[in-house]
Amino acid sequence: MKTLPVCYALIALLVAGSLSQAAEPLRGSRPNIVLVITDDQGYGPVGRHGHPWIKTPNLDSLYDKSVRFTRFLVAPTCAPTRSALMTGRHPMRNGVTHTILERERMTLEATTLPQVLKSAGYTTGIFGKWHLGDEEPYQPHRRGFDEALIHGAGGIGQAYRCSCADAPGNKYFNPTLRYNGSFVRTKGYCTNLFFTGALGWINRVRAGDAPFFAYISTNAPHGPFIAPPSNTKRFTDLGFDKRTAGFYGMIENIDENVGRLLEHLEKWKLLENTVVIFMSDNGMTGGGSGRLGRSLGKSPAGKPMLPFNAGMKGLKGSTDEGGVRVPFFVRWDGRIKPGVDHDRIAAHIDLFPTLAALAGAKLPANQVEGRSLLPLIEGGKAQWTDRYLYTHKGRWPTGAEPNKYQWRGFAVRNQRFRLVDNKALFDMLADPGQKTNVIEKHPDVVKAMRASYDVWWKKTRPMMVNETAPMSPTRPFHVLHAKQLKAGGIPLWKSPKL
């Protein structure tokens, strides 16, 4: 038998080693995890998704280096999606049936994602939007996060006649934020501050033995649509109205910060041991992006510029595909093959079991409904049976009986079909833009979807624990802010040096 020359033998060993490393299972590998989630961006406003005006070179680069889930589905609005990420189950089963009026509070009975990751030895941090309860027991520093730099309510400056309210008088520039339970004054633009806070924390903890979970949750591009002038000028020069320029400018600012994040992860040599995930919380807003079919302004050539939503029907708040489909990019250099698209339906409820599997953490009993996406991420011939995903807009009037709204504002989705209310069925494979109602052609499909949804609803209704909650007579962030002012003032947050 002939033997290989030493150089060829060495090459063969190296190749075999690299292949075995690539094939090494991801479950229990305990990487660092960085999850970036934007607010109201939706699927369309990403360069690689064909958007005609915005420039997102860093998101495009992340897209190129990631596995992409092209049918990733979330809730029609923000707090519901965030509760699903934190628990692995449907938002309404967390008590989250609205975004305000005490119905945004995630049940205290749930075990949260950071708590599960901490059980596997992780250190955890949140930077930006929480929106799952502003009363103290519901706050993130009480629910598994070691580090928390957040605003209140569902957005900076928001305040409602309930507990859901941000620090008084807050603006997108120089906001007062809550840092590990105390208020701090800041200098700068909100999105820049949240990424800076996350990077400073990562820089502190990266030398330790524990892997980290950084949850960077921007309030941008949620309205009001305010971005740094350097990000809006290009759009106003193109002829866009002020609101749209603000919306698109906020996204380009997010892109700059994603670039800054990736640059530092590379500089710190963390990319080979860090999973980076990018997503949005619901479909594209109809505010700064305009209503579909209506002009956003006129180009220098005098032609109307229409909103772009990747050909989908529906915007934020809708149970159509455009209201719930978002980007979902997963990057891990050297461990996940980039440039792969998965068109199997996946959802917000799947993130929790996916990250828990990566961490080697045990799932809480009888809570998680989603599936780990690792079999798809790892490639190969993963067994992936079809399933139904359920959507409901919620947001019925306070005090109303939810059962009266069971058959209004809902959708059921499987790989091929989307049933919207009791009125329309769409073949999403043949008709992704939902232009042709085929409900009369598939009565058996409609019957099965309705029956499954009815079973799901009857189990879900008792878990809507906030429906009879009284409105809080106080706004906790306002009360705590006033108390801290009286006790000694609001200190300036020390922006970390990177």
| Gyration radius from the chain CA atoms | 23
By the 8 A CB rule, do 107 and 94 touch? yes
Count CA atoms closer than 13 A to 411's CA, side-chain side.
Answer: 24
Residue 348 falls in the annotated catalytic set: no
Q: Looking at this protein, which amino acid is placed at residue 276?
A: V
Q: Of 131, 348, 392, 478, which one is the catalytic site residue?
A: 131
Give the Cα separation of 83 and 104 in Å (integer). 9
Question: What distance in Å separates the CA atoms of residue 471 and residue 452, rounded to the nearest whole number?
Answer: 34
Strand arrangement of the beta sheet that strand 67-69 belongs to:
182-185, 176-179, 147-151, 123-129, 212-217, 32-38, 274-280, 328-331, 67-69, 340-342
Catalytic-role residue among 51, 78, 190, 348 = 78
Do residues 315 and 78 lie in contact, with contact meaning Cβ atoms separated by under 8 Å?
A: no
Query: Any catalytic annotation for residue 78?
Result: yes
Is residue 158 within 8 A of residue 78, CB to CB? The reply is no
Report which DSSP code applies to 285: P
The residues near 41 (Cβ < 8 Å, ≥ 6 apart) are 221, 251, 254, 280, 284, 285, 326, 327
Which residues are marked as active site? Answer: 78, 131
